Amino acid sequence: MAAAVTYEPIKTCKQSGARLGRVHTPHGVIETPAFMPVGTQATVKTMSPEELKTMDAHIILSNTYHLFLRPGHELVKAAGGLHKFMNWDRPILTDSGGFQVFSLSDIRKITEEGVQFKSHLNGDKLFLSPEKAMEIQNALGSDIMMAFDECPPYPAEYDYLKKSLERTSRWAERCLQSHARPEDQGLFAIVQGGMYEDLRRQSAQQLTSMDFPGYAIGGLSVGEPKHLMYEVLDYTTPLLPVNKPRYLMGVGSPDALIEGAIRGIDMFDCVLPTRIARNGTCMTSEGRLVVRNAKYAEDFGPLDPKCTCYTCQNYSRAYIRHLIKADETFGIRLTTYHNLHFLLQLMRDVRQAIMDDRLLDFRDAFFESYGLNDNERGF
């Protein structure tokens, strides 16, 4: 049986070692390295599917936890699956719900069986297990689904992390066994182990022995300093199979996307561009711009003079500032469109730089113009 999701290597950057490739899925091809906009509730906030296609999003991410609580996976299944429900015919990745259970809900109990928790919406008592996470994602019908993992807090003790990653490995095996649609949905496993090299190695070895079609690195971008995240990537990414996609979860600042690509990552997702857009924070070729600031009140230039997006071609900083200050939804649409376009364009530039064997030069020039050399935040 052919795998639902496969990786096609195209080129390795001679200067940096970054990979250019394609991930093949039942709903089309993802050019990698790729950034995936996040559509938490089966929508990328304020964006239409047509707009996402115009800005060249190859894949979007949706959240199992949120769709399980509302409207329910059975309803999405009855609608013909997530693609039909939200009118998106390109690839979709669904997370397993693990991260949200551990970060949003009032956890009652973590056992070998799964996690008992209370819904953050209405306080209902709920249970999520590897089997349940597979049932939900099989009903949603995403192209790429994620194994249910335990998401440890940061910082965490060594012994706790060791027990946690071992449970995550056992849960991954249960996910494989209960996955009902391997022929048209690819299941990725998630490497854990905190900031400890030997634990990351143990997690990667256990999971790669189970032969998943792709692998994610979890437990990063959770509050640790950037240099520590890069260090973990330096020793973790080489442990993953070269012939399968590698996905760094929850990373979306421009500097981390470039540094992740340099370290051999193929896929990234983050709510950052859409979340910061809602308070008027924009990513531009010259760095971060907070358009609600008073200094832009009479600035009739675009958010970013070098940007070709719909927002920058048609609207001024002064107008967008007015909309954001007036709590007008259109203002949020304009900043969201721009930020997503900016990151998707950045990934196109990264792919071209890999093709040209000059990704390190590209990074240095980008960091210089973005003003990143002394900014830990990176956006």
Please compute the mean of the pLDDT values over residues 316-321 and round it to a whole number: 99
Please compute the mean of the pLDDT values over residues 68-93 and round it to a whole number: 99
Q: Is 96 annotated as a binding residue?
A: yes
Q: What percent of the chain has pLDDT over 70?
A: 98
Q: Is 13 annotated as a binding residue?
A: no
Rounded to whole angstroms, the Cα distance separating 259 from 230 reads: 7
Instruction: With a cut of 70, say whether residue 240 has pLDDT above it.
Output: yes
Q: Is 270 annotated as a binding residue?
A: no
| The Cα angle at residue 162 between residues 159 and 168, in degrees rounded to 5 | 140
Tell me: the pLDDT tens digits for 249-302?
Answer: 999 999 999 999 999 999 999 999 999 999 999 999 999 999 999 999 999 999
At position 70, the amino acid (one-letter code) is R
In contact, 26 and 143? CB cutoff 8 Å: yes
Instruction: With a cut of 90, say whether residue 27 has pLDDT above it.
Output: yes
Output the pLDDT for position 376.
Answer: 61
Output the pLDDT for position 377.
Answer: 66
Residue 157, Ramachandran bin (φ over 0: left; ψ between -120 and 50: alpha; else beta): beta
Average of per-residue pLDDT values in the chain = 97
Q: Is 95 annotated as a binding residue?
A: yes
Output the pLDDT for position 165.
Answer: 98
Tell me: the pLDDT tens digits for 119-160?
Answer: 889 999 999 999 999 999 999 999 999 999 999 989 999 999
Residue 326 half-sphere exposure toward CB, CA atoms < 13 A? 11
Output the pLDDT for position 375.
Answer: 56
Output the pLDDT for position 96.
Answer: 95
Q: Is 312 annotated as a binding residue?
A: yes
The three-state secondary structure class of 91 is coil
Instruction: With a cut of 80, say whether residue 314 has pLDDT above it.
Output: yes
Q: Which domains does the chain have, with CATH numbers?
A: 6-271 (3.20.20.105), 277-370 (no CATH)
At position 170, the amino acid (one-letter code) is R
In contact, 38 and 60? CB cutoff 8 Å: yes
The question of whether 95 is a catalytic residue gets the answer yes
Q: Is 327 annotated as a binding residue?
A: no
From the candidates 95, 255, 266, 304, which is the catalytic residue?
95
Q: Is 338 annotated as a binding residue?
A: yes
**CA nearest neighbour of 35 among 98, 87, 93:** 93
Q: Is 219 annotated as a binding residue?
A: yes
Q: Is 179 annotated as a binding residue?
A: no
């340099």: which residue's tokens? 262
At position 124, the amino acid (one-letter code) is D
From the candidates 143, 255, 266, 269, which is the catalytic residue?
269
**CA nearest neighbour of 156 among 168, 169, 165:** 165
Rounded to whole angstroms, the Cα distance separating 89 from 98 reads: 26
**CA nearest neighbour of 85 among 138, 24, 41, 132:** 41
Output the pLDDT for position 88.
Answer: 99
| The Cα angle at residue 340 between residues 330 and 233, in degrees rounded to 5 | 150
Q: Order of strands across the sheet with 28-32?
A: 6-12, 19-25, 28-32
Instruction: With a cut of 60, say whether residue 205 has pLDDT above it.
Output: yes
Instruction: With a cut of 90, say whether residue 108 has pLDDT above it.
Output: no
Q: Is 73 annotated as a binding residue?
A: no
The question of whether 374 is a catalytic residue gets the answer no
